[in-house]
Amino acid sequence: MDVSRATLLMLLATGAAWWAARADEPGAAERASQAGRAGWRMVFKSVFNDARQFERQWQHSGNVRLARGLQPAVQLGPADEGAAHAAELLSRPLDCAERPAGELSYWLIADGVDPGEALVVEVLTAQGEWTLLERVISDGRSASGPALHVRRLPAEALWGQTRVRFRALVDDADDRWLISRVELRAAPREVTLEVNVRPALEADIQVALLDGSEQFTLLAPGVRRFPAATRLYLLAPPSAGGLTFSHWLIDGPGRFESARGLALVLARRTRLTAVYRAAPAGQPETLVNVYAAPAIEARLLVGVGAGGAYLPVAGDGVLPCLMGELLTVAAPRRTARYVFERWVVNGQPLTPSGNVLRHEIIGTDVLVAEYALLGDMNDDGVLDKYDVDVFLLALVDPDAYRQHYPQLDRLRRGDINGDGQLDVLDVEPFVDLVLGG
């Protein structure tokens, strides 16, 4: 083996190793790109490791061929005699319709390409025109490894039949561009929510994303777009324009919901209509107070109707409601310092109490979620040294604890680490609570 051939083989092996290393361990540019598109979905991916798959994904003309190695790539070489340009690689039609954003990424090496020669990357717009994404111009230097290129798609390329095109503009027989791992990602599809009021009125609709990420007021009639599959809870006001809420219409008259609180998943364009009518006898509007005592660092969740969807209520919530409506109120079981104890409805304690209350509105009701200090085992409202012996009693002799404190739930008060048990694993976090005041 002569030296020049050995050198060439070493360079090829080094280049292949670079491809593999960069593919498996993304650099700073790729990590930044990935962080910026968390939750985006893959629309198209081509890794050039299978000839039949390559032919299904791409159309090509000129000097285009697959390049084998540890990291497969496609090679765009010099022009054939009489060709207008060296090579062209054209993707199949890609569906980016209703996507708010899209991004093309690919890895690239310029191998022996003379200074000034270029690789042109374009995308097809909805108007049937090619628009430039990137023109990569060679500086003539030997590449030490593949480079990641990332480009956002223009808005006019976000449609149902967009395509990506690579065109190589080189002229020497030794010039070639190596492209690997072409990916197109896009943000989740967006769908439209249209909210109307009948008769022609304006109403403030409370809207909450059921993942807890956002809560806002939508002035209806109004329109807003959301990523597809967004889970929403909408709460119509009890009255508007002197009329009383009657029901929701969902995508026309065929489907309706009688409760003011409506939970839905947006799979497609959705049209909602809040229908109001003259108030029937016995259904006037009233105010309901919902709050936690003492004030805790978490919010209560209130739903209108028997469903499991809620609207967060911070602090002392005063809610306009209709007489006879069913409220579903969920209080957090515990926070870092407090544990749910019971519900008090219109001054009357409910025992036993689960943390979810279902209550039919009978007037100006007051619904209070009462909390106790976590670790306050003697129920004196203070967490101090006097709780230590009582905690140990609850730990080693549950029957004796229940006899002395029949009104207390030893597990709620003493399960400090929140694992559902009162045992020795709660001792250390209990001590930390006491010492922390």
pTM beyond cutoff 0.75: no
Is 174 in the same domain as 40? Answer: yes
Give the per-residue pLDDT at 315: 54
CA distance 376 to 382: 6
Is 247 in the same domain as 289? Answer: no
The domain total for the chain is 4
Give the per-residue pLDDT at 256: 83
Sign of CA dihedral 201, 202, 203, 205: positive
Is 43 in the same domain as 98? Answer: yes
Is 292 in the same domain as 322? Answer: yes
Answer for the pair 364, 286: CB distance below 8 angstroms, yes or no.
yes
Helix %, strand %, coil % for the chain, to 5? 15, 45, 40
Q: How many CA atoms within 13 Å lie on the side-chain side of 387? A: 23
Is 178 in the same domain as 89? Answer: yes
Report residue 374: phi and psi, to 5°.
Answer: -65, 125
Q: Residue 154 domain-assigned? A: yes
Give the per-residue pLDDT at 18: 42
Residue found by looking up tokens 């409910």 in the block: 350
- Of 144, 167, 186, the domain-final residue: 186
Give the per-residue pLDDT at 290: 92
CA distance 414 to 291: 24
Could you tell me the residue range of the domain that residue 128 belongs to? 36-186
Sign of CA dihedral 23, 28, 29, 33: positive
Return the closest-CA partner of residue 62 out of 86, 82, 81, 91: 86
- Of 242, 277, 312, the domain-final residue: 277
Low-confidence stretches of the chain (pLDDT < 50) are 1-35
CA distance 137 to 171: 14
Give the per-residue pLDDT at 306: 61
